[in-house]
Amino acid sequence: MRIVVCIKPVRTEMVYKTEDRNEKYTFNPYDLYALEQSLSLKKLDDSIEIIALSMGPMDAQHLLVKSLAMGCDDGIILNDSAFIGSDTLATSYVLATAIKKLNKVDLIVCGAKSIDGETGQVVFGIAERLKLNCIQHLKKVIGFEDDKLILEQENGDRRLDLSLNLPAVIAFKDFTLKQPDISLLLHKRAKQKGIKIWNADDIEADGNKIGNKGSKTKVIGVRNIVTKRERTIVNGSIADKAKYLTELLSLGSNIKN
């Protein structure tokens, strides 16, 4: 089985205190969780090949080196000035085109969304471009059964065990902030192995479908929104406070009804 895990680099300050981290970029927490779940499959079958694939700046290539140290077999970073400005539509095109270049991929794994975009659209864009089924809201990998992948899905208040035919695209809903514990020896070996760097020409991308040309949306501004919550102080005895809360809860119930 051949698995591609899509990893988006995000700015470190969005996840951790910058004074505690040296790198400018870190793993998108949803993608890191998806990577860990994918690597759990290698424990069940060491013949599985896992490729970490990332579209991002060269400053983020250390994340792919870490992916190799964690157990991935290959790491590829998609980097080209022509990719700058890509929205979810263009990004899904670049990733899908790179996956086609890899050929014979059985499973594409993604996180549910990125913390800097929150759209959750790229996974579906990849699936649509590759004409593959897409399963989301996954919690964990269970194992294999009759050459099918068994997965646990959370659907509302229910947990479902799914049997998935391959090839397919899947997305895990959970995230992790815990950085992988990598020994110096594993990191050194991963760095020596190195990663591949592909540009637009390497994946034979259509210039009209990438970057600003291939994007249907444009970011025209970014604002930080601070929400202030009103606070009410209830004076009086415990009985007075209990009466106030009872009336407040009753009001809420009447609004719902």
- Residue 222 located in a structural domain: no
Residue 257: predicted pLDDT: 45
Give the pair of three-digit tokens for residue 139. Answer: 């919690």
- Residue 237 located in a structural domain: no
Give the pLDDT confidence of 227-237 residue by residue, as tens digits.
565 666 777 78
Give the pLDDT confidence of 47-72 residue by residue, as tens digits.
999 999 999 999 999 999 999 999 99
Q: Where is 136: in which H helix or E strand? A: strand 134-145
Residue 231: predicted pLDDT: 67
In 3D, which of 50, 4, 7 has the Cα closest to residue 169? 4
CB 174 within 8 A of CB 211: no
- Residue 215 located in a structural domain: no
Mean predicted confidence (pLDDT) in 205-210: 94
Place 225 in a pLDDT band, splitting at 50, 70 and 90.
Answer: low
Place 255 in a pLDDT band, splitting at 50, 70 and 90.
Answer: very low
The yes-or-no verdict on residue 16 having pLDDT over 60 is yes
* CA pair distance 24, 22, nearest whole angstrom: 7
* CA pair distance 103, 97, nearest whole angstrom: 10
Residue 180: predicted pLDDT: 85
Count of domains for the chain: 1
Core vs surface per residue 186-211: b (16+ CB within 10 A) or e: bbeebeeeebeebebeebebeeebbb
Give the pLDDT confidence of 134-187 residue by residue, as tens digits.
999 999 999 888 789 999 999 888 899 999 999 999 999 999 998 888 999 999
Q: Residue 246's beta-bridge partner residues?
A: none
Here the CATH number for the domain that contains residue 98 is: 3.40.50.620
- Residue 100 located in a structural domain: yes
- Residue 201 located in a structural domain: yes
- Expressed in percent and rounded to 5, the helix, strand and coil fractions of the chain are 35, 25, 40
Residue-range definition of the domain harbouring residue 29: 2-209
In whole angstroms, how far apart are CA 182 and each of 4, 123, 150?
21, 28, 28
- Residue 67 located in a structural domain: yes
Give the pLDDT confidence of 79-136 residue by residue, as tens digits.
999 999 899 999 999 999 999 999 899 999 999 999 887 788 899 999 999 999 999 9
In whole angstroms, how far apart are CA 210 and each of 43, 81, 94, 214?
37, 10, 7, 4
Residue 135: predicted pLDDT: 93
- Residue 85 located in a structural domain: yes
- Residue 255 located in a structural domain: no
